């Protein structure tokens, strides 16, 4: 099921943003075949808990062997998309660059996921999410006044600036290929995506409504009515009462007398008043006070929290004993599905290569170019 049903994707296994992108494509209905190296690559736990690998089968191929490269080209010949996350030039040296792949399939969408991009002075340098955020300016904007930049895990760079931009590129290129009959290469760089995500801030900066000093602006904890506050039990409530009517409800529900919030000189006093109010009750008590209101206040829950709203929507599900996010977004006619559990590297080598029409599977396995686990 899913709106991408019928789309076939070959994934040359990487880490982080490329697997997340391929997970999303699989949950949207695409058939994604993951090409792992024998024994697998960098892992953060046992294979069954590598949730980014869910929803697709795994073939183990040693791409340093010519037979394995030929097998990938046979897969590519019947695919719509190839996703790779090597450093620039590595795929070409393997014989699996855009030239070789589009020679066997001119309609192929060849999607490349990197941190720095395919060109530029840093293209061949190593890096991680935090580096791309740092260079793009996005990291500079996150943090409290007078303090250092705060790291938003690897959600903002790898997955927002990387994976989601890659998927948007793939979907756009697939639509274009339907009309032109030609594929193209997508250069998805995390540094580009992270910079693109700062568009609203740069507009506000140019208009004088945002300052470079973090923690001094409306949406970066500078405003006391857009911040988090500790409760009596050491938990936190998130407050986002920007609009006047929402702010008025916040004040009324807290039962406080607040100074004029439009005078920035009052913000230190207002912050102190809000902090003292929230410290007077537990998180559960405040959650009950604000539940269903327009005060824009919510509890800060741990990962995979169990709030009634999340339960009602099925935002998190349990599969094979592991609590994990359900697919998103949702579709009215072509519902998405969670799909299979994460596969062990090489778990489906024989069956998947055979189903995809690769010739000489037995010979590949005998030579070690392919490995069945």
pLDDT, tens only, 39-68: 887 777 888 899 999 999 999 999 999 999
Predicted confidence at residue 41, as pLDDT, reads 79
Predicted confidence at residue 209, as pLDDT, reads 96
Predicted confidence at residue 43, as pLDDT, reads 77
Predicted confidence at residue 2, as pLDDT, reads 96
- Helices of type H across the chain: 17-27, 66-77, 90-94, 98-104, 129-136, 164-180, 190-196, 199-206, 244-254, 267-278, 283-290, 308-313, 349-355, 361-367
Indicate the SS3 state at residue 313.
helix
Q: Which of 217, 289, 298, 225 is nearest to 258 (CA)?
A: 225
Residues 6+ apart with CB under 8 A from 35: 10, 11, 12, 13, 58, 59, 60, 61, 63, 72, 75
C-alpha span between 272 and 250 (Å, rounded): 15
> What pLDDT, in 10s, does the model give residues 116-126?
999 999 999 99
Structure tokens at 321: 């004993």
Low-confidence stretches of the chain (pLDDT < 70) are none
Q: Which residues are catalytic?
A: 128, 158
Predicted confidence at residue 127, as pLDDT, reads 97
**Cα 263–Cα 271–Cα 268 angle in degrees, nearest 5:** 55
Does the predicted TM-score (pTM) go above 0.75?
yes
Backbone dihedral angles phi then psi of residue 267, each to the nearest 5 degrees = -60, -40
């Amino acid at each position: 099921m899913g709106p991408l049903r019928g789309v076939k994707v070959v994934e040359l296994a990487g880490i982080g943003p490329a697997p997340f992108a391929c997970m999303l494509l699989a949950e949207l209905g695409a058939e994604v075949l993951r090409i792992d190296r024998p024994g697998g690559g960098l892992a953060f736990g046992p294979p069954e808990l590598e949730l980014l690998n869910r929803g697709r089968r795994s073939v183990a191929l040693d791409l340093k062997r010519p037979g394995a490269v030929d097998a990938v080209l046979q897969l590519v010949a019947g695919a719509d998309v190839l996703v790779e996350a090597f450093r620039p030039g590595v795929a070409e040296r393997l014989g699996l660059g855009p030239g070789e792949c589009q020679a066997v399939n001119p309609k192929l969408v060849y999607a490349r996921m990197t941190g720095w991009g395919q060109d530029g002075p840093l293209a061949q340098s190593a890096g991680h999410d935090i580096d791309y955020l740092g260079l793009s300016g996005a990291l500079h904007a996150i943090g409290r006044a007078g303090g250092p930049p705060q790291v938003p895990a690897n959600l903002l760079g790898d997955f927002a600036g990387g994976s989601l931009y890659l998927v948007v590129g793939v979907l756009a290129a697939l639509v274009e290929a339907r009309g032109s009959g030609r594929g193209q290469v997508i250069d998805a760089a995390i540094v580009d995506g992270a910079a693109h995500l700062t568009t609203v801030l740069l507009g506000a900066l140019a208009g004088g409504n945002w300052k470079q000093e973090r923690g001094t602006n409306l949406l970066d904890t500078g405003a006391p009515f857009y911040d988090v506050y500790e409760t009596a039990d050491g938990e936190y409530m998130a407050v986002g009462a920007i609009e006047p009517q929402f702010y008025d409800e916040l004040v009324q529900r807290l039962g406080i007398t607040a100074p004029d919030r439009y005078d920035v000189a009052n913000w230190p006093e207002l912050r102190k008043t809000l902090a003292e109010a929230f410290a007077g009750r537990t998180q559960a008590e405040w959650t009950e006070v604000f539940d269903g209101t327009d005060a824009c206040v919510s509890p800060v829950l741990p990962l995979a929290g169990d709030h009634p709203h999340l339960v009602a929507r099925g935002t998190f599900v349990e599969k094979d004993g592991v609590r994990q996010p359900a697919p998103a977004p949702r579709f009215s006619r072509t519902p998405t599905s969670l799909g299979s559990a994460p596969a062990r590297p090489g778990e489906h080598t024989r069956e998947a290569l055979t189903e995809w029409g690769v010739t000489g599977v037995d010979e590949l396995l005998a030579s070690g170019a392919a490995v069945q686990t």
